[in-house]
Amino acid sequence: MLGCNDEIKITKTNKMKKSFYLIIGIAGLFFLFTSEVLYHTGSPGGKTGSPGDGGATCTQCHGGSATFQEGWITSDIPVDGYMPGETYTITATGTHAGVGRFGFELTSEDATNTKVGTIMVTNATETQLVNGNNSITHTNSGFTPNGDMKSWSFDWTAPAEGTGEVTFYAAFNAANGNGNNQGDVIYRSEYAVSEANPTVDGLMVNLSGMDPHVGQLLEARLINKANMMEVDRLAIDPVPSADFEIHFENIMEGENYWIDMYADFNENGYYDGTPTDHAWRLSFNNAMNGDMQDFIHNTNFDEINWKHMYMLEFEDMDPHIGQKLEVRLVDQSDMMEAGRTTIEEIMSAEFDVMLPYLQSGHDYYVDFYADLNQNGVYDDPPTDHAWRIELMDTEGDEDDTFMHNTDFTDISWNYRFTLHAMEMTPHLGQMFEMRVVNMSTMEEVGRMSMDSVVVEDFHAMTTGLGLGADYYIDFYADHNGNGMYDAPPVDHAWRLELSSVDGDSELDFTHNTDFTDIEWPTVGIEDNLASQVNVYPNPVRDFIHISTGTLESSVSNILIYNSNGNLIETAEQQTGTNPIKFGQAQPGTYFMQFELENGKSFTKRIIKL
């Protein structure tokens, strides 16, 4: 029994051994098969060596340790970093001498080891997604190397703004192709990319603390200091919150700008001088694309002499496509030009022209012509086609529509003169005035003035040139700062000559000490009248006195305007014993216009301290 039993026991033991050997054999075969299948069909996932994957790589199956390789992960992400939401191409490349087969798995994580970004397969034959679509690996057809190297590429869409630095992690298996997990070499690589700083073209202004103006209109403009020309403007209507941004697009790198802006505090729809509306001027120098300026609301208001926008919409201009078009605004009160613009070539039958030169309450002529014969200058109609529109009693921004017609008007177009003044450093902060005088008649045909030279190289412009004529260009810097011209060397003054005008003209001038007494303001009809009137003291603090000399019986009215062109006072003829009170006026520049009984008028500039 016992033997039987022993025999039986021995028999059972042998059966158990056979069963055990059989199980071991099947398990080993399964392991080898599974290892081979996983290698062929891709990583099971979570084998990238990333912190989020617990640092696991292919060494868990293939043994050894992973060797780090620099530069095995590359991309077309700019050196400045990825832009949120943008899609880029990522490439993983492995190399190993004598490699038989190559596999990989790659993922992307942020600084908290969270999977970020979206991986997208672009070659489904050789790559596939794994690990909940957060990683990419090779396929059964994507492990064959090209010599000693294998590359895989795919797309990656960057995560949301604020994610910060992202690191790509990858593990590579350089297999010898012997059908088992022996003799293979494991590598890993990393590739970190930063998030690009959010930049915009142009100039951004960040406004904060604007609570008093929430719900009101805010307008802003960008003025080039070199020529005092407006280059961009925008409107926020209404101001949405206490903190917001405005964005100017049309800047030139390296240039210097004023940023003028106002909030329509009385909510009448347009600018009224301070403090009725709240206005500020910011200085921005050496501008670069993407620059930002911060502004915090304050009550240090500036008088910005805001000009409103006039828009002229052209229709049916087919006869003039390819031709030059020029437009100007002329103030009807004194027939002085407020501003102009030029389109060098009309590109379509319908287009708009913008002129930021309107002052509320003024009447204007809108003059424009198309250069039909294309000789580059204005010729009387019908040689060129010219028109005039009347713009009456302006109030804020205005617009008109013009449809091409043959009701031409001779607008007696004149041309622009530009002085390019250079190296004017000795006169920074000083008043600068320039005028153009016809040599044959000694009549002043144009003048400009700036309260302060703000950059050493600038352009001073005025209009009034006639074709074929010769001119003196007289200009001075108020070197002693008393607000008026004094003969050199007290003030610095110069005279240039411009001969045989053939259209818009420009002269270059470099600062020097070859001064000329230009007898300002005795040259010119208007200035001969003005020279007979004495306004003092100027600058003024409290009261200003007027002596009209021989014109006393000829002065019919005295009108005082602020720098916005708004009439602030009308006075009858005044004498030194009956002064005008200026004590309550805001500091700044004012203009006193003297109207004569013969219809002529002239203006004196007043500086209020």
Phi, psi of 168 (to 5 degrees): -95, 130
Tokens of 584: 């309550």
Same domain, 81 and 186: yes
Q: Is residue 409 part of a domain?
A: no
Radius of gyration of the chain from its Cα atoms, rounded to whole angstroms: 40
Burial of 16 (0-12, 13-18, 19+ CB in 10 A): exposed
**Beta-ladder partners of 152:** 92
Q: What per-residue confidence (pLDDT) applies to 28?
A: 39
| Residues 89/75, Cβ–Cβ less than 8 Å | yes
For residue 177 the two structure tokens come to 């192709």
User: Which CATH number covers residue 552?
Assistant: 2.60.40.1930
Q: Give the pLDDT band (50/70/90) at residue 441.
A: confident
What H or E segment, with its residue span, contains residue 418?
strand 415-422
Tell me whether strands 149-157 and 87-95 are parallel, antiparallel or unpaired: antiparallel
236: its two tokens: 């926020």
Instruction: Find, among 289, 452, 469, 320, the residue nearest to 384 by Cα.
Output: 320
Which tops the pLDDT comparison, 34 or 424?
424
Q: Which two tokens stand for residue 273?
A: 């001088």
Residue 562 scores a pLDDT above 70: yes
The CATH number assigned to the domain holding 388 equals 2.60.40
Tell me the pLDDT band of 530, cut-offs 50, 70 and 90.
low
Range among 307-311, 442-446, 480-484 rated most confident:
307-311
Same domain? 65 vs 97: yes
- Residue 578 pLDDT level (bands cut at 50, 70, 90): low
The answer on pLDDT for 280 being more than 80 is: yes
**Inside any domain, residue 189:** yes
CB count within 10 Å of CB 476 equals 27
Q: How do 244-248 and 203-208 pair as beta strands?
A: antiparallel
Count up the domains in the chain and report the number: 5
Q: What is the pLDDT of residue 37?
A: 38
8 A C-beta contact, residue 554 and residue 530: no
403, 423, 452 - which closes a domain: 403
- Residue-averaged pLDDT of the chain: 85
C-beta of residue 451 within 8 angstroms of C-beta of residue 503: no
Our separate counts of H helices and E strands in the chain read: 3, 38
Res 26 pLDDT > 70: no
Same domain, 424 and 317: no
Whether 295 shows a pLDDT value over 50: the answer reads: yes
Within-domain flag for 186: yes
Residue matched to tokens 């501003």: 339
pLDDT for the residue 251 = 85
**Residue 191 · residue 75 · CB < 8 Å:** yes
Rounded CA-CA distance 235/449 in Å is 28
**Taking residues 546-567, what's their average pLDDT?**
72
Q: What average pLDDT does range 356-372 have in this prediction?
A: 93
pLDDT number for residue 376: 94
Phi, psi (rounded to 5 degrees) for 158? -65, 150
CA-CA-CA-CA dihedral for 507, 511, 513, 516, to nearest 10: 30
Kind plus residue range of the DSSP H or E element containing 324: none
Q: For residue 50, is pLDDT > 90?
A: yes
The DSSP line for 540-608 is BSSEEEEE-GGGTTTEEEEEEEETTS-EEEEE----TTSPEE-TTSPSEEEEEEEEETTS-EEEEEEEE
pLDDT tens-digit map of 216-249:
999 999 999 998 899 999 999 999 999 999 999 8
Question: What is the C-alpha separation between 526 and 410, in angstroms, rounded?
Answer: 26
Distance CA 103, CA 105 (A): 7
Please compute the mean of the pLDDT values over residues 105-126 and round it to a whole number: 96
| Nearest one of 169, 167, 161 to 196, comparing CA atoms | 161
* Confidence category of residue 12, pLDDT binned at 50, 70, 90: very low
What does residue 527 show for φ and ψ, rounded to 5 degrees? -75, -25
pLDDT tier for residue 30 given thresholds of 50, 70 and 90: very low
Average pLDDT for residues 559-585, to the nearest whole number?
Answer: 70
Does 408 map to a domain? no
Q: CB neighbours (10 Å) of residue 355?
A: 22
pLDDT > 70: percent of the chain = 85
Tokens describing residue 482: 């008393």
Contact 125, 139 (CB under 8 A): yes
Query: Which of 489, 524, 559 represents a domain boundary (last residue)?
Result: 524
Question: How many angstroms separate the Cα of 272 from the Cα of each of 282, 308, 398, 562?
Answer: 19, 11, 16, 11
270: pLDDT strictly greater than 70: yes
pLDDT of residue 39: 53
**Could you give the CA distance from residue 118 to residue 523 in angstroms, rounded to a whole number?**
75
Q: How many CB atoms lie within 10 A of CB 397?
A: 16
Q: Which residues contact 361 (CB under 8 A, 6 or more apart)?
A: 393, 394, 395, 565, 566, 567
Considering the domain architecture, whether residues 577 and 604 belong to the same structural domain is answered as: yes
Is residue 278 located within the same domain as residue 256? yes
Examine the domain organization and report whether 442 and 506 are in the same domain: yes
| Structure tokens given for 554 | 């000829």
What is the average per-residue pLDDT within 417-442? 94
Inform me whether the pLDDT recorded for 591 exceeds 90: no
pLDDT at 15 over 50: no
Query: Same domain for 476 and 495?
Result: yes
Asked if residue 308 lies in contact with residue 396, where contact means CB atoms within 8 angstroms, the answer is yes
Q: Which residue has the higher pLDDT, 527 or 285?
A: 285
pLDDT of residue 21: 40
Cβ within 8 Å of residue 311, ≥6 positions away: 352, 353, 354, 355, 397, 398, 399, 400
- Tokens, residue 366: 């809108």
pLDDT tens for 442-469 read 888 889 988 889 899 999 999 999 999 9
Pairing mode, if any, of strands 458-465 and 398-403? Answer: unpaired
Residues 48 and 174 both lie in one domain: yes
In a domain, 109, yes or no: yes
Give the lowest-confidence range in 122-131, 162-171, 302-311, 514-523: 514-523
* Residue 195, phi then psi, degrees to nearest 5: -85, 130
Mean pLDDT of the 357-372 span: 93
- The mean-pLDDT minimum among 259-268, 281-290, 375-384, 425-434 falls in 281-290
DSSP string across 332-379: TTTTEEEEEEEESS--SSSEEEEEEEE-TT--EEEEEEE-TT-SSS--
pLDDT exceeds 90 at position 489: yes
Query: How confident is residue 125, by pLDDT bands cut at 50, 70 and 90?
Result: very high
- φ, ψ at 284 (rounded to 5°): -140, 115
User: Regarding predicted confidence, which is higher, 501 or 566?
Assistant: 501
In a domain, 32, yes or no: no
Query: Strand 291-296 and strand 203-208: pairing?
Result: parallel
* 308 in Cβ contact with 397 (< 8 Å): yes
Structural domain range at position 537: 532-608
Domain boundary pick from 336, 371, 403: 403
Residues 45 and 189 in one domain: yes
User: Based on the domain organization, do 183 and 47 belong to the same domain?
Assistant: yes
17 inside domain: no
Phi, psi of 4 (to 5 degrees): -60, -45
Residue with tokens 């038989």: 100
Instruction: Please tell me whether the peptide bond between 275 and the residue prior to it is cis, using omega within 30 degrees of 0.
Output: yes
Which CATH number covers residue 78? 2.60.40.4060
Q: Residue 421 is encoded by which pair of tokens?
A: 């003044």
Tell me the residue type at 107.
Answer: T
Using CA atoms, how far apart are residues 342 and 360, in angstroms rounded to an integer? 24
Q: Is the pLDDT of residue 553 over 80?
A: no
Report H helices in 404-486: none
Same structural domain for residues 187 and 215?
Answer: no
Neighbours of 123 (CB within 10 A): 13
Write out pLDDT tens, residues 319-348.
Answer: 999 999 999 999 887 788 999 999 999 999
Q: Taking the model in full, what pTM does it have?
A: 0.57
Residue 5 in any domain: the answer is no
pLDDT value at residue 241: 94
Neighbouring C-alpha atoms within 13 Å toward the C-beta of 453: 26
Whether 563 and 441 map to the same domain: the answer is no
